[in-house]
Structure formats: C-alpha cells, structure tokens
Structure 1
Amino acid sequence: MTSHRAAPDEALGDLLDQIAEQLGSPVPAHLQAALRAVPRHDFLPPTLWLRDGDGGHEPCDREGDPDRWWRAAYSDAPLVTQFTEGPDGDRVPSSSASMPSVVVRMLRTLDVRPGHSVLEIGTGTGFNAALLSFVCGPDNVTSLDVDPDLTRRAQRALKASGQQPHVVCADGAGGWPPNAPYDRIIATCSVRTVPLPWLEQTVTGGLLVIPWDTPWCNFGTLLATKQADGTAEGSLAPYGSFMLLRAQQVDAELHAVIPRERGGQEPERSTTGLSPWSVAGDDLDAQMYLGLRMPGTWHVWDTEVADAHTRLWLADGRTSSWACVDYDGQQTSAFAVAQYGARKLWDEVVRAYEEYMAAGRPGVHRNRLRLIPDGRSTRLEVSVPA
C-alpha cells in the first residue's frame, strides 16, 4: 500500500471478501454501504495490540509501523484497543475492536432497518454505533459504555464520521430508560444473565442479540425475540466470544478456591473413564452444553502439578467446591478424580456429558433458551428440542 489516504477502497474490498468467506455469502447490500460510509480505521486508536505467537499481545503503532497498522485495521481480526491492570498486576484487555465478520453477522441477525430504535450495550470504539446510525438513523440509536475514556474517544470519532447517535457513559446493565422502548437491543459484551431492564425495554416482537458466556465456556450469541408475556425466547448462534459485561465480572479466581479443605476433611477420590479432553477440549458444542447446565462452574488446565502429567481443575467459588481430574501421561482409559465440597462437580460433568451424548451431540444452535423475569433479574430455561 503506497497511499494510505487512497487505500480504503482497496483495503475494504479485501476485507469484504474475507467477511463473505466467513459468512458463506456476500455481505448484505445495506451493510456493505454502511461499511463503505464508515471506515473502520477512523475508529481505531494510534496504538493497537495484536496477538503474538505466544498467545499474548504486542503493540502496533500507526506512526512507527503504518503499513502493519493499516493491514491490521482492515483484517478480519479482533484488535485490542485498551488494557487495564488486573488483580495480580498483569495487563488485562479491557476493550477491543471486534472481528469485522462477527460485527456483520450480528448486524445481519439483528435485522435492523431505517427507523428502528436500537440500544447498543458497549460503545467501545464507536464503530458499531456508527454502522447502526448509518442504517437506522442516528436519532434512533442509543449506545452505552461504562468507561468514560472510551465514551469520550468514541464520541469524538463519531462526530468526525458524521454519525452522531446518543452516546451515554452509563452502566449498560441498567439499559437506558429515557429512550426506551427499543425495537432492537444488541450487546458488544457477553453476559451470563440477561439484565432484566434489557428485557423490559424491548418492544413485544423486538429482537435481542447478545453474546453469551458461562464460566465453563465463553462462546455463542443469543438470538431472542420478546414475547407478549414478557419473556424472550430464542437460540444460540455458533459464533461470538466477547469480554464480559463489567457488572458481571465478579468471579473468584480459581486459586482462591482450590484446593480448600476445611475441618480436616479429605476430598473424595475415585476414577473415571470419561476423558477430561472430551468435556474441556476442542468440542465447543459439548463445552457450551455443559456450561449452560452447570452454573458457576469453572475449569482450567494445569501442567505444572507435581503428582500428575496434566490436571483439569474444576471449581465453583460460590460454594467453595472443587474437583480435579488427573492424566498420568500414560493411561487414557481411566483418570484419577478428587472432589471436595457441597457440589460433586465431576459427577455433575459426567451426568451432563451423558445427556449431551444421548441427545445426539447437539450443536450450539440447538440449545433453546427462554428468559423469564425473576425479581430484579432474569432466569434462564434451557432445552434441546427432539
């Protein structure tokens, strides 16, 4: 690329091809028009963080390496745009520009049309809000972000782009009553429980498109329709992995839970024939099935334990229950199990996995979700139709 000022047409054409390949079909015409009218690079900060070969991130500065920065801006990849300090002093990504193909998938599913009233949870860079404004009209779009610095940066970028939706610095968990009700609600962060205000502020027949998360598996996007009785019903789409809604980032660290043996109690020990890789490996369908049916349950792999080759830890911080499953480096038909606490977590895993297999290994999309108002929150019912 020799001229960055002239590059967007060529770069965007390449990006549209990448998105179409991911979608399996061309980008819808109205979203192509939005992407051409709202250049992605105008919403990106001067420094981006790109994934390196070790699973971490390395900076990419627009002034220091403009060609690389430009390629990143028009790649079909998520880009970290902000870090915060984690509890251990480590840098933790706290905002990103979503993968463009996922942005388009979500907007296509949202089925937005001119005149639709839309609430977006998570303004981030402002790029998604600008696309929504182009399609629906800026007066019909409300976007919320809890981070004041992100909000100010997004407002500046939106003003420069000519798209100026209502951007508010507020906790997205409460929705935004002043502009309710909404025909569409979309979140650019994931949730483990849909906040009740989102359901209450959606019109009957309106759509909610919300990335879903469980402590077991952060994957899938809820597509739900508001019903006349105040509930919402839908399914999960097999895409989307987003940062968790700030108000729901309250989980205890695993190391604070395991192993914790009180009163001299010893964990219950047994063996299992179920491979830990079957439930915590590459099968995202299985992982999501388990995550939806085992609330509050975490897992993490550990290869630095003294008495096993590889260990799968499970924990529930609310009950201080934990379990571990050990691979000795040789035996693949039986694995040592230890369980402690009120919940026998590995037993729950085995039951859930047996249900998953009996149901025919249902894909993520076969999980039917029903959101029910329950006090100040919502309750989730999950089923897999025969």
Structure 2
Amino acid sequence: MTLPVDLETDAARLRAIMAEDLAVRGVLDDPAWRAAVEAVPRHRFAPGFYLPGEERDGLGLTVWQPVTAALDPGRWLAAAYSDTTLITQFDGDEPDWEHPAERHGGAPTSSSTLPSLVVRMWADADVREGHTVLEIGTGTGYSTALACERLGSAGVTSVDVDPYRLERAASSLHGCGYAPTLAVADGVYGYWPEAPFDRIVAACSFRAVPPALVAQTRPGGKILLTLSGWLYGYARVLLTVSGDGTAEGCLLGGTVSFMSARTHAAPAFGNPAHWAAELPGEARDARHGPERITAATEEAFHLRFLVQSAVPGAQLATVGDVVHLVDVVSGSAATLTPDCEGGWRVREGGPVRLWESVERVVDVYEAAGRPGSESFTLSVHHGGQHLRHPRVPCLPLPSPEGRPGRSRTASGRTGHSSSQLARE
C-alpha cells in the first residue's frame, strides 16, 4: 500500500512515538529491537482491521467497527501505531475490506498482536543475531518483519495454517523488502524442511507442548509458547531442550492470552440446559465459588490455568446467573447456582465430578500458600508433560495431540483422568 507523502511522514512520526513509549515503559530496552520497531511500517501489515465500539448492541454483543485508510485515514494510522491488538478476522471468514461491514460479536481468529507483546516474546525467547527461528502463526506478518529486520530474512521461517492470511502476509513482507521462508502449515507439527531451529516462538496457544517442536529444536535451543485449555486459562512457558529429546522450563509471569491453534480449539458442546437437565436433583454447598477462577484478577487468571489441568475436558458457560461446566469427553457436567446467602449450590453428574475436582485444586493451591506462576516448572519428558511445584502435587497436561487422556475411573467406566492430582 502506497500512502500520500504526508501520511507516510505521519506514519514515521507515529512509529517513533510508539517506540519511545515502549522504551519508557521498559518493554523495548534492547537497542536492536528498538531499531526494528522504528523501521518496520506496521500500517502496511494491517490495511484493514476491527476495533470495538464503545457500547454493546441490544443482545450484549460487542460491536466491531471496521477501520481502513479509505474510511478514516487518521483513525486507521493512529490505531496502527498504538499498542493495541488489531483484529483482522472473525470465525475464519476473511472480510471484504473494499466494502467492510460492522460486525456484532464473533470469535477473533486472526489479528496483529499488540507491539509490546510481540517485542516481549522475541526478547523473552532470547533471540539473538545468528539464530535460526521458527515463528508459528504468521498472522499479518508484522512480527515476522520485526524478526527479519533484526536477524535477516535468511534466518526466519514462519508458518500459518490459513493460506489466505499467509498470502496477504507474504505480499506485505515482500513489499517491505523482507524474504523469510513462509509456508502454509499447521504449527502443531512445526516445519521439518527448515529444522532444526535455535528458537521456536508461537503466536498461538496449545493445550500441551507439541512433540514436533521439541524434536525440531537444537539441543540447548529454546521454545517460547503459550499453554491454554478449554477453560481459557493461559500460561506462558520458556522451555530449554535437552539432547535426549526432553525439555524443561519455568512458567512466565503476566496475563497473556492467544488464540488457540485450530486443532487444539474447544469443541462445540450444544445447549447447556440440555446437560443440566440430566443432572441429579440434589445439590450441595460449594466450598469455592466460580469467581475464584472467573474474576478479573491475575490470581484468578493463573488459578484457572491450574484448574483446567485437572479438568482438561471441561468448558464453562454462564447463562443468566447459573454457571455450567460441560465435559464433552467424559459426558460429565456440573452447575453452580447462587443461593440467597451469597454462596453457591452445586449439582454434578457423570463419571467425573467436575466442580469437586476444581475445588480440590483450589484447596491444594491455598494450602501451598497461593504460589505464583513463576514458581511452577513444566517438564516435558517421554512419560508425558507435568507441571511441578515443591508444595503442589504435579499436574498433568492433556495429550499433546489435543485430546485429554483417558483412564479407568473408580466406577469402572472409561472416563478422562481429571478427578485427582497426580503424584510421581
């Protein structure tokens, strides 16, 4: 995209302001990465995107407003050089940016990640000159461009599962003079033709560490990725790979979230009322209410991640004032209904007592002194993947193929093994 001279001048000025702001905030303390941010024209990677409106619609859905240079060049350029995630796609449907329309609700499936997080990821992965890197999730290509500016295009490989997204990113990258290796590929399997890599950085989230990524990293190399789950609990981890095919690393702090790798996305589970109708009539008092994992706090964000390790097949939905947990793998469900005294009543059914499993994790977390994310270590070994902490029984991650593990439950039925914390 070629802009009038005055807009290109404005873009350069806004780019410098953004870099200075990131530096003042302590995000951009590496001169080489700052130079990359000042050089890469982010607006060329986001010719159109959506921003949320100030008010929701009558159904409570977010109203997403299209922003392009044709519609409002000032707003478009200002947003491109703000520290904001720019949504470029919903529900896998590519917008018609020649005739963009307002959207109501929808699930974002592609975006240009906010610059502070992009730079933070490259820095956290300890990417340096001479490294070969694999980026999973090309998206708009802006992050790829920063890596090319820092390392040179020859050291950068980037893959995306969406062919149209990759085609647009390739056009933007080549238009800016960058020529990394690009491929349409599922990041769960890495990219063997260019392996091994010194660093692998994922801009999407996984339920567990894909084995292919460990296999494609040189001994001593590092993998930075975000772990997530069907309860939408997130944690970032930086793993160091050993020569024997294992990897280990600490969880990182913060409340970062990414869209799921499409093969790890949560399945549809139908109408929560249908699941609730099958539950027994008797209810019990909840020891812990759902706000322990749903509150807008860093602790709840972290605790939700730990909890979903114990119930990896569970999903959460709120209808009115009733909170539903549904597990499509085991056929289990639970509902939490507020009582008149400020507490919650629980009904559970199926081979896995979902909320009882959640409460057990919260109990252990409390007894351990509420340890923060940085005190947990993720171990990826030939027997599985486990979160470890000195004062918490280890928590297994789901199968790296994206399906929860299955085991024999106490009732003799085959269900998913989420009702207890594992000890090794």
Instruction: Tell me: CA distance 1:21–1:221, structure 2 relative to 1, closer, same or farther (3 Å).
Output: farther
Equivalent residue number for residue 27 of structure 1: 29
Equivalent residue number for residue 185 of structure 1: 200
2:325 partner amino acid: L
* Conserved? CA contact 2:272–2:326, under 8 Å: no
Residue 331 (structure 1) aligned with residue 334 (structure 2): no
Instruction: Tell me: CA distance 1:324–1:179, structure 2 relative to 1, closer, same or farther (3 Å).
Output: same
Equivalent residue number for residue 384 of structure 1: 389
3-state SS of 1:259 partner: helix
Residue 72 (structure 1) aligned with residue 79 (structure 2): yes
Equivalent residue number for residue 280 of structure 1: 294
3-state SS of 1:199 partner: helix
Q: For the residues of structure 2 that align with 1:3 and 1:31, how far apart are their CA atoms?
A: 26
Q: CA deviation at 1:126?
A: 0.9
Query: After TM superposition, what 4+ stretches of structure 1 lie above 6 angstroms from structure 2?
Result: none
Which consecutive unaligned segments of at least 5 residues does structure 1 have? 304-309
Q: Tell me which of 280, 284, 291 is aligned to 1:266.
A: 280
Equivalent residue number for residue 51 of structure 1: 52
Residue 366 (structure 1) aligned with residue 375 (structure 2): yes
Larger CA deviation: 315-324 vs 4-13: 4-13
Q: CA deviation at 1:245?
A: 0.5
TM-score when normalising by structure 2: 0.81
TM-superposition CA deviations, 1:271-291 (whole Å, max 9, x none): 124222123222212222212
Instruction: Tell me: CA distance 1:149–1:26, structure 2 relative to 1, closer, same or farther (3 Å).
Output: closer
* Conserved? CA contact 1:214–1:295, under 8 Å: yes
1:178-327 aligned within 5 A:
178-237=193-252, 238-253=254-269, 255=271, 258-259=274-275, 266=280, 269-282=283-296, 283-303=300-320, 310-327=321-338
Q: For the residues of structure 2 that align with 1:178 and 1:26, how far apart are their CA atoms?
A: 33
Q: CA deviation at 1:91?
A: 4.0
1:6 partner amino acid: T
Q: For the residues of structure 2 that align with 1:382 and 1:254, how far apart are their CA atoms?
A: 31
Q: For the residues of structure 2 that align with 1:108 and 1:119, how far apart are their CA atoms?
A: 14
Q: CA deviation at 1:133?
A: 1.4
Equivalent residue number for residue 99 of structure 1: 114
TM-score when normalising by structure 1: 0.89
Q: For the residues of structure 1 that align with 2:310 and 2:377, how far apart are their CA atoms?
A: 12
1:345-356 aligned within 5 A:
345-356=354-365
* Conserved? CA contact 2:218–2:241, under 8 Å: yes
Q: CA deviation at 1:197?
A: 0.8
3-state SS of 1:114 partner: coil
Q: For the residues of structure 2 that align with 1:275 and 1:176, how far apart are their CA atoms?
A: 43
3-state SS of 1:115 partner: coil
* Conserved? CA contact 1:268–1:340, under 8 Å: no
3-state SS of 1:381 partner: strand
Q: For the residues of structure 1 that align with 2:24 and 2:336, how far apart are their CA atoms?
A: 39
Identity of aligned residues (%): 33
3-state SS of 1:348 partner: helix
Instruction: Tell me: CA distance 1:373–1:149, structure 2 relative to 1, closer, same or farther (3 Å).
Output: farther
Q: For the residues of structure 2 that align with 1:70 and 1:20, how far apart are their CA atoms?
A: 20
Q: CA deviation at 1:256?
A: 6.5
* Conserved? CA contact 1:257–1:316, under 8 Å: no
1:381 partner amino acid: H
Q: CA deviation at 1:223?
A: 1.0
Q: Tell me which of 141, 158, 179 is aligned to 1:126.
A: 141
Q: For the residues of structure 1 that align with 2:327 and 2:270, how far apart are their CA atoms?
A: 8
Q: For the residues of structure 2 that align with 1:275 and 1:183, how far apart are their CA atoms?
A: 44
* Conserved? CA contact 1:257–1:320, under 8 Å: no
Equivalent residue number for residue 307 of structure 1: none
* Conserved? CA contact 2:19–2:38, under 8 Å: no
* Conserved? CA contact 1:267–1:339, under 8 Å: no
